[in-house]
Chain A
Amino acid sequence: MLSQKQVQQIASLARLNITQEEMKKYQEELSSILEYIEKLGEIDVSSIEAMSHPGELKNVFRTDEPREEKSAGLIELAPQKKDGYLKVKSILKKEK
């Protein structure tokens, strides 16, 4: 069973605000899902290679030619913008 502290820690790593009420719900639900996933502990895979992808991955190259960027309109989607830039909250504090 995950502790509430662990759930809070996971939520904060994932940058998710959750309420106290949701916390309890997620604690139960995540614990029950993790308990189900524990089934993977039954098999020995020490000699098996990990597989991240089903395809036969190869490097894909393209010629290095200048091309028109398709970024027009992308900035327009931003919730807050100024002079063609994305606007974010300040991350440095002003010296007092």
Chain B
Amino acid sequence: MEVADLTITKARQGLFKKEFSAVELTQAFLNRIEKVDKDISAYLAVLSKTALDQAKEADRLISLGTEQPALLGIPCAIKDNILIKGAKCTAASKILENYQAPYDATVVAKLKKQGAIFLGKTNLDEFAMGSSTENSAFKTTKNPHDIKKVPGGSSGGSAAAVAGGMAVYSLGSDTGGSIRLPASFCGTVGLKPTYGAVSRHGLIAFASSLDQIGPLTKTVDDAEIVFKAIAGKDPLDSTSVEVLKEKQEFNIKNLRIGVPKEYFVKGMDPKIEELVKGAIKKYEEMGAKILEVSLPNTEYALPAYYVISPSEASANLARFDGIKYGFSDKEAENLAAVYQNSRGEGFGPEVRRRIMLGTYALSAGYYEAYYLKAQKVRNLIRNDFKKVFDKVDVLMTPSAPSLPFNIGEKTKDPLSMYLVDIYTVSVNLAGLPALSMPIGKVAGLPVGMQIIGRAFEENIILKVAKLYEY
């Protein structure tokens, strides 16, 4: 059975037309992972046994023949910073190498309720801090389109699993572009939902005011199916809300697309610019109105992000103390040494770098110059979007300034790695939804376009994206 190109819709048809069983489907994916993943390294753990058990149960439900949820019997992959009860959850960090999740993340519980099949846990930059998946403590994931290139990050394993045909869909998390960048680099669809649209309960926290979980899929239709399955208010995440805006009339002739001029500046690959402008042109031909707009504070988004996210990370990662769970230096001579040695050895270089950056930005004497200032700039960036969304319905931009780069190319200079997020971080600062979808290739490597919408208007973004795809 050929499973590499299966979408959710096609897999479901096959299951319900009895062309194959969920067990056969799952086994075919496990075989493919066995064959392909030694070159790609998308997975940190493959959950063969539980996946096949879930498949058996799915087959039983399918045989009942009644109305069944959209994701029943469909095999997926989960980023290894999202908890599945009983499975290891490492966040690709040595400090959590042996951590076994004691409960399900809300998104996982919701997928389980639909009868989803979990093939395994995918690789990421340690604690989701990175743009290439090279910061994993365990392995480097390769781009399925060219194994010399990075898959993007931090959800690189989730993107490579889908692009490499090793899962029908996957879940990732996005703090500054960690779903959209790997989606763009690997040629998949990736949706970062509005802040609060999806529960963060059971997601290992990186920067709590920025983190969101979202789907990586082969088609926009699939992204919509998964998003609907995981969205909604959750009593276990008090920042989650019910997604309200559902029924809106949509007509491409009334659609106003904004093209922010600050996203098309020198430094970006001209071939990417050409592809993105070509895609926008297609929308114009379909009848949409294209307007050049300005988000004047765009250049301050990345520096603000690299104050705010490490600050929140330094606070969130204080919980890793070598006492409650995770790696611990048991030979340390006193309590302070337990903390320092466990954290010093357990965290990798990039995580330590960000903890130190955040600690500095929050420390007495520097708080106002860095953290408070960045929070004010954040407000300016949000206001830029507010103003622009009075005039347009969606924004279209490149997802990344460059093509997938070589493995090892940017690891020596952390700042050059940070600059890869230049088109994605503003969206997290403002809490908006955005999708990256493939629009073509340059030199055999995928290029993604980003569509940004108003808060809780994922449905508009998805409708707009579908028009291009079909």
Contacts and interface: CB of A to CB of B under 8 A. Distances in A.
Interface of A: 7, 10-18, 22, 26, 29-30, 32-34, 36-43, 45, 48-55, 57, 60, 62, 70, 73-74, 77-80, 86, 88-91
Top 10 A-B pairs, shortest CB-CB distance: A54-B431, A17-B344, A79-B328, A50-B375, A45-B376, A77-B325, A51-B379, A60-B238, A15-B339, A14-B359
Contacts of B356: 7, 10-11, 14, 16, 26, 30
Interface of B: 99-100, 102-103, 195-196, 209, 235, 238-239, 241, 297, 299-300, 303-304, 306-307, 314, 318, 321-328, 330, 332-336, 338-341, 343-345, 347, 349, 352-353, 355-357, 359-360, 363, 370, 372-380, 382, 414-415, 418, 429-432, 455
Contacts of A30: 353, 356-357, 360
A70 B101 CA distance: 13
A6 to B, nearest CB: 8
A73 B85 CA distance: 11
A50 B360 contact: no
Nearest to A47: B376
Contacts of A50: 372, 375-376, 378-379
Given A15-B340, A16-B352, A77-B325, A51 B376 contact: yes
Contacts of A43: 297, 300, 377, 380
Contact of B338 (A14, A45, A88): A88
B176 to A, nearest CB: 13
6 contacts: A10-B359, A13-B363, A17-B340, A39-B300, A42-B300, A78-B324
B430 A54 contact: yes
A61 to B, nearest CB: 10
Interface of A is mostly: loop
Contacts of B432: 54
B346 to A, nearest CB: 10
Contacts of A15: 318, 321, 336, 339-340, 343
Chain B interface mostly: helix
Contacts of A86: 323-324
A95 to B, nearest CB: 17
A49 B332 contact: no
B196 A18 contact: no
Nearest to A29: B414
Contacts of B303: 36-40
Contacts of A51: 375-376, 378-379, 382
Nearest to A59: B238
Nearest to B238: A60
A42 to B, nearest CB: 8
A33 B382 contact: no
Contacts of A40: 300, 303-304, 307, 370, 373-374, 377
A18 B352 contact: yes
B379 to A, nearest CB: 4
Contacts of A10: 356, 359-360, 363
Contacts of B332: 89
A72 to B, nearest CB: 8
A71 B435 CA distance: 37
A62 B237 CA distance: 12
B380 A48 contact: yes
B95 to A, nearest CB: 11
B370 A88 contact: no
A49 B376 contact: yes
A26 B353 contact: yes
Contact of A79 (B102, B235, B322, B418): B322
A2 B354 CA distance: 15
B353 A55 contact: no
B338 A89 contact: yes
A88 B455 CA distance: 46
A57 B196 CA distance: 10
Contacts of A12: 340
A5 to B, nearest CB: 13
B380 A55 contact: no
A49 B380 CA distance: 9
Given A50-B376, A60-B238, 8 more contacts: A10-B359, A14-B343, A26-B352, A30-B357, A32-B415, A37-B303, A40-B303, A55-B241
Nearest to B358: A14
A48 B379 contact: yes
A37 B306 contact: yes
B335 A88 contact: yes
